Amino acid sequence: MTRGTELQLYPIRFRETYRKKVWGGDGFKKILKKKGCPPKTGESLELIQQGKETSVVAAGPLKGMTLTRLLKTWPREILGDDQSMRFSQAFPVTVKFLNTRDRLSLQVHPSDEFAQRYEIAGTGKTEMWYILSAGKEGKVIRGVLPGTTIAEFKRHLAEGSIETCLNVMDAKEGDIIFIPPGTLHSASGDVVMLEIQQNSEITYRLHDWNRPDLNGKPRRLDVEKAMGMIDFYSMGVSKYRPSRISGYSYKRKLLIKCEKFTAEMIELEKRRIAIKGDRDRFHIL
């Protein structure tokens, strides 16, 4: 199928790809029943278009076609009338699952403005986590404790006692964690979660718990940029609560609504329901 060919739309399913991580585990096999995951799988990429890494259609008439080619050939049909002019070159979000068997590095993401100033790929990263499962020791770090000064933070970082400055919470199934740019964050304790993020791979790693990577080499830190981006003064809401959306014959709840994306939960009480879309925007199920 080529440009100019009329696209008969259908629910497009993409093949997942896996990334091994030093902090990964086997949670995708146990919780999500995924097959073929290598040991220490940390990420299952469900929908991605970043450089040469792009999702591939799994079934139907478009099977084998990349997301990149779909956007070039049918931007309006794939993205919707309102979004096709803004995002025809790059899909605006990335969707993945994470399994943090060990501790995720202590990290922060830049805003669009910070990325445009300091990075070649000038897109920041806003993201959210939805916790699907957590071990008994499951933890989430979100933000710096109120009242922590920059001087105190730097001292604890240098002394190896940075955890005393962090907002550490128990991770539980159903938790909703919103992570805007500038929010220091991490997770540990065999947590399996859905991550929806702005399409950006820029991560500033502040601390990595003094461990080597999968090849036994030290992992790169970005302390200077991380310190320049951390928001020390606004921790925000630690965990969000879903709110019921009325007007539907099935249960539909709002998880997160922000400038970059909206995430909702649909609870299936029947094997089949009708979900009405529109031509202005795309929907990921």
Active-site hit among 69, 76, 205, 219? 205
User: Tens digits of per-residue pLDDT, 47-73?
Assistant: 999 988 999 999 999 999 999 999 999
Q: Is-contact 50 28, C-beta < 8 A?
A: no
Residue 76 annotated to the active site: no
Domains assigned to the chain: 17-241 (2.60.120.10)
> Quick one: pLDDT band at residue 237, thresholds 50, 70, 90?
confident
- Give the pLDDT mean for 14-38: 96
> Quick one: pLDDT band at residue 213, thresholds 50, 70, 90?
very high
Average pLDDT, the chain: 92
For 146-180, the DSSP string reads TT--HHHHHHHHHHT-GGGGEEEEE--TT-EEEE-
- Give the pLDDT mean for 216-240: 92
- Give the pLDDT mean for 106-128: 94
Q: Is-contact 170 138, C-beta < 8 A?
A: yes
Q: State what percent of residues in the chain have pLDDT above 70.
A: 96
